[in-house]
Structure 1
Amino acid sequence: MTMLADTRHLSPFTAVIFDMDGTILDTESVFKTIVFEVCTELGFEMTEDVHRSMIGSSHETTNRLLLEAYGVAFPYALFDEKCRVIMRERSHDGVPVKAGAREFITELRDRGIPAAVATSSRNPHAQHHLSAVGLLDLFETVVTRDDVTFPKPHPEPYLLAAQRLGVEPTQCLALEDSHTGVRAAHAAGMQTIMVPDLVGPSDEIHALGVSVMTSMVDVHLAAFPRLRR
């Protein structure tokens, strides 16, 4: 399905809250390869459907999804540890930044528009990856799984990020790549844009009235139309 940049629903905003994996950083594709490799090593066959259900999910939700898919014999703790070790090795020098993300985040800083991250990842993972690519200092705050009681799709991560920024949720622009994240941002009352990574928008996502844009380049152009050529 072809997705054209949709600027019709982009209203004025006073802050921007980004998801991290798959939105700012191209970690999801790297992690997908690792997930398939580790499952094979452990004697389980990962499928595209199971993997898609995991995208954007918290540690606890991923655990539940894998146990539902493979039964109680699935060694989640071992799987999780192996995935994390390999991810650290392969991302030691940083993972690719999604096209247009660095430029948009930098312009937000230059304009004095506060930006935050709301991620389902744990704090060490988020701090390492954002620091490795030189983006950590461009955010006013980073909300991780370690900071909230209820992870995405609950709105708490986005509400906490807005609270830390001192901005009303309705004045925030939220950027997400996953269905889970879109549900969270929308439930927080934020103007939400989905920038698909490994999973495209579903009928449910379209029904929420969420704008869908093909890349962060499109988001940047929609946010600051003067940049159009």
Structure 2
Amino acid sequence: MAASVGENSVESKTTLAELAPLQAVLFDIDGTICDSDPLHHYAFREMLQEIGFNGGVPITEEFFVDHIAGKHNDDIAKSLFPDDIQRGLKFVDDKEAMFRRLASEQLKPVNGLYKVKKWIEDRGIKRAAVTNAPKANAELMISSLGLSDFFEALIVGSECEHAKPHPDPYLKALEIINVSKDHTFVFEDSVSGIKAGVAAGMPVVGIATRNPEHLLMEAKPVFLIKDYEDPKLWAALEELDKK
């Protein structure tokens, strides 16, 4: 059985308090500010079944986590269609169009998101969104959640030399909003995203919205939270405030 959220975090020596004075918070989008994975899973499952992928057997939650969640579309295309990359790229484009239709009607914020948004705004802390999602998806999700004026920058993996799990998107975010990695932390919900933030030299707070906790812990977040209402997060932010 997976450890309860945050139980394994003692192995990490960094606490958020060490970042004081805090300059910025960087957010992933899918699964981090909104619970979008069920919509992605649904779109992939329906469309893959339609073309007879896996003999027409619907993909499972495990398959989705292992091969799709948090990954860049180019890599998903190669993984699902190794013998026909062009077909794979066309497929993921069509799937994203289906996702946008679903998201425009069904997208919900992660619990407590607006509480942490207010905490950040009240302190004048800079913020950016950093994602492997296509730009059209990212902009739709941000605007659907009423966050267009909240984020000072949007960094998209495909516009960097390498997408997550490489550090490039997070390093670009630091550069664009002009802050130091020593005074910034990241919110992420996927293994590839946590790895990207850690590789960029920042502490990452992992959000266990969908992905298995033991897998997230292997990517070395400072701790895991269930959502933005988690007392563990607020204890850490309070400690940071005191500094």
The TM-score range, normalised by the shorter chain, is: 0.7 to 0.9
Residue of structure 2 aligned with 1:193, choices 184, 193, 205: 205
**38, 50, 58: which one aligns with 1:41:** 50
Cα displacement (A) at 1:171: 1.6
Runs of 4+ in 1 over 6 A off after TM superposition: none
Offset of residue 131 of structure 1: 0.8
For the pair 1:224 / 2:240, whether they are aligned, the reply is no
Corresponding residue for residue 132 of structure 2: 120
The 2-side partners of 1:207 and 1:34 are apart by: 27
Output the CA distance in 2 between the equivalents of 1:82 and 1:143: 22
Aligned 8 A contact 1:102 1:135 in 2: no
When residues 66 and 93 of structure 1 are mapped into structure 2, their CA distance, relative to the original with a 3 A threshold, is same
| Structure-2 change in CA distance of 1:114 and 1:152 (3 Å) | same
Is the counterpart of residue 51 in structure 1 residue 57 in structure 2?
no
CA RMSD of aligned residues (A): 2.4
Instruction: Compute the displacement of 1:2 (Å).
Output: 4.9
User: CA separation in 1, counterparts of 2:160 and 2:62?
Assistant: 28
Deviation at 1:85? Answer: 2.4
User: Hey, what does 2:78 align to over in structure 1?
Assistant: 64
- Displacement of 1:209 in angstroms is 5.7
- Uncovered stretches (5+) of structure 1, i.e. residues with no partner: none
| Map 1:18-97 → 2, pairs under 5 A | 18-45=27-54, 46-53=59-66, 54-68=68-82, 71-72=83-84, 75-93=87-105, 95-97=107-109
Q: 1:14 aligns with which of 23, 30, 52?
A: 23
Q: From the superposition, tell whether residues 63 and 222 of structure 1 become closer, same or farther in structure 2 (CA, over 3 Å).
A: farther
Query: Number of paired residues?
Result: 224
Q: 1:31 to 1:56 in 2, by over 3 A?
A: same
- What are the residue-to-residue correspondences of 1:60-209 with 2, within 5 Å? 60-68=74-82, 71-72=83-84, 75-93=87-105, 95-202=107-214, 205-206=217-218, 208=220
Alpha-carbon contact 1:100-1:220 (below 8 Å) kept:
no
Pick which of 72-81 and 133-142 moved more. 72-81
**CA gap 1:20/1:209 in 2 versus in 1, 3 angstroms:** closer
Q: Distance in 1 between matches of 2:26 and 2:128?
A: 5
Counterpart AA for 1:19: D
Q: How far apart, in 1, do the equivalents of 2:195 and 2:121 lie?
A: 27
| 1:173 match: secondary structure | strand
- Structure 2: distance between partners of 1:83 and 1:56: 15
TM-score (norm 2): 0.82
In 1, the alpha carbon distance for the partners of 2:221 and 2:141 equals 31
1:105-129: CA deviation from partner (whole Å, max 9, x where unpaired): 2220121011111100122211111
Shift in Å at residue 94 of structure 1?
5.8
| 1:182–1:205 CA contact under 8 A, matched in 2 | no
